[in-house]
Amino acid sequence: FIESLSTYARLFIEKIDRPDVDDIRNLRPAVALQQQNTIKTSRSTVGTLTEIHDYLRLLFSKIAQPYCPICGKLIKQWSPESIVEDLISNQKGKRAMIIFPSDKRVEELIRMGYHRFREDGEVILDRLIIGDEKRLTDSIETAWSEGGGEVIVDIVGDSIIRYTKKLMCSDCGFIAEQPHPMLFSFNHPLGACPACRGFGNVLKYVEDKIVPDKSLSLKDMAIEPWSKPSLRWWYKQLLRGAPKSGIDINIPYRELTEDKKRLLFKGTEYFYGLDDFFSTLEEKKYKLHVRVFLSRYREAVVCSECGGKRLKAEALSYKVASKDISEFLEMSISDLKNYIKDIKLSDHHKIISEEILKQIYDKLS
Ligand SMILES: [Zn+2]
Ligand SMILES: [Zn+2]
């Protein structure tokens, strides 16, 4: 049965060893039926129809690196080794205090042998001149574990550097999420753009459909949806309230200023606007005729939050060889194949991703 599953699915299943037995009786064979489902929905692309998207998500969860969407800088995950490396190469010869934050009580810290403190529960672990790698490593490692993955290095009279195990941009404070494979799926709430729920576009009410004939005045029923007999109430309250809000109901719609047109949507203290109207109707969307009615005034526009990439910013902040996952999915099969063949990766990442890249390459062939 397991052989009938995709390689990707098997990655999650083959964690159980084969049982150590010679003979099993009275066990019926498992039957697996293949689901025939090739219907292309608005959620499908080449990447979702094939297994390639799954492999790319796996690839991203293993080797993608997060870049801050605000400043574009690589967000590093610090470790004691990389902190020491950073300090030796950038702060050598300077006097520094190695500090860690703690929420323990002072009495307890004193019992543990710490005697120097700063305000806000910060413990001064060591004062040293950056240079002796052995001593620096010892101090940083201790501070890192006492501080639960947080170390503060006060370069005396210069700057304060905060190192954290969190995936955080040190300049902007943007925190990247852990690169779970689901983070790279627009079908999963963990990865989907919250504004368009992973569809890549949103439905917007558009002026051209609401006011198809802009030579009409408001009095001549320029606003088409409100000209329906059953919705005249909306029109009456507009014609009553608009003059009080400084809107001329006798001139053609196209001659109204942008500010006045905006008021027709937003409403004023004297009348309800089109936004109120549409949101009132949306509460009755469970009725088919309401949905049909609303759809006549809407158009799908590219989601401004994700730019049509369907994933949330935290997912798009991750890149492999300078491309985010949606840029991989947009590539044609032959482009993706060539790209993967010549992909530039660090030796470490090459080893981790070799098998996945080979699988993607084979699927594309
Ligand atoms: Zn930043
Ligand atoms: Zn979006």
Q: Are residues 218 and 286 in the same domain?
A: yes
The DSSP output letter for 252 is: B
Residue 172 forms part of a structural domain: no
Q: Find the distance separating the first CA and the last CA of the chain, reported in whole Å.
A: 26
Place of tokens 């627009």: 186
Q: Please say if the pLDDT value at position 353 is more than 80.
A: yes
More confident residue, 29 or 51: 51
Span from the CA of 168 to the centroid of ligand 1 (angstroms): 8
Q: Are residues 150 and 212 in the same domain?
A: no
pLDDT, tens digit, for every residue of 283-299? Answer: 998 999 999 999 999 99
Domain that holds residue 256: 203-302
CATH code, domain with 142: 3.30.190.20
CA distance 102 to 109: 9
Q: How many domains does the chain have?
A: 2
Q: Are residues 148 and 101 in the same domain?
A: yes
Q: Please say if the pLDDT value at position 159 is more than 50.
A: yes
Joined tokens for residue 125: 């672990």
Neighbours of ion ligand 1 (CB under 5 A): 68, 70-71, 169, 171-172
For residues 97 and 156, the answer to whether their CB atoms sit within 8 Å is: yes
pLDDT, tens digit, for every residue of 237-248? Answer: 999 999 999 999
Span from the CA of 55 to the centroid of ligand 1 (angstroms): 29
Query: Of the candidates 246, 278, 302, which is a domain's last residue?
Result: 302
Neighbours of ion ligand 2 (CB under 5 A): 193, 195-196, 303, 305-306
Q: Which ligand is nearest to the CA of 75?
A: 1
Instruction: Please report how the helices 274-282 and 288-295 are oriented relative to each other, as an axis angle in degrees rounded to 10.
Output: 150
Residue 287 forms part of a structural domain: yes
Span from the CA of 321 to the centroid of ligand 1 (angstroms): 19
Please give the average per-residue pLDDT across 50-65, as a whole number: 89
Query: Taking Cα atoms as reference points, which of 292, 300, 294, 288 lies closest to residue 225?
Result: 294
Residue 211 forms part of a structural domain: yes
For residues 300 and 42, the answer to whether their CB atoms sit within 8 Å is: no
For residues 200 and 303, the answer to whether their CB atoms sit within 8 Å is: yes
Span from the CA of 68 to the centroid of ligand 1 (angstroms): 5
Q: What is the dihedral of CA 65, 67, 73, 78, to 10 degrees?
A: -50
CA distance 342 to 352: 16
Of the candidate ranges 308-312, 325-329, 332-336, the one whose mean pLDDT is the lowest: 332-336
Span from the CA of 66 to the centroid of ligand 1 (angstroms): 11
CATH code, domain with 246: 1.10.8.280
More confident residue, 88 or 171: 88
Residue 264 forms part of a structural domain: yes
Confidence of residue 236 (pLDDT cuts 50, 70, 90): very high
Residue 30 forms part of a structural domain: no
Q: Which ligand is nearest to the CA of 195?
A: 2
Query: Of the candidates 302, 322, 349, which is a domain's last residue?
Result: 302
More confident residue, 41 or 217: 217
Residue 27 forms part of a structural domain: no
CA distance 194 to 305: 8
Please report the pLDDT score of residue 41 as a whole number: 47
Residues 131, 135, 137, CA angle at the centre, nearest 5°? 90
Q: 3-class SS at 237?
A: helix
Joined tokens for residue 215: 């030579």
Average pLDDT, the chain: 86
Residue 261 forms part of a structural domain: yes
- Complex-level ipTM: 0.93
Please report the pLDDT score of residue 37 as a whole number: 45
Span from the CA of 329 to the centroid of ligand 2 (angstroms): 16
Span from the CA of 192 to the centroid of ligand 2 (angstroms): 8
Residue 94 forms part of a structural domain: yes
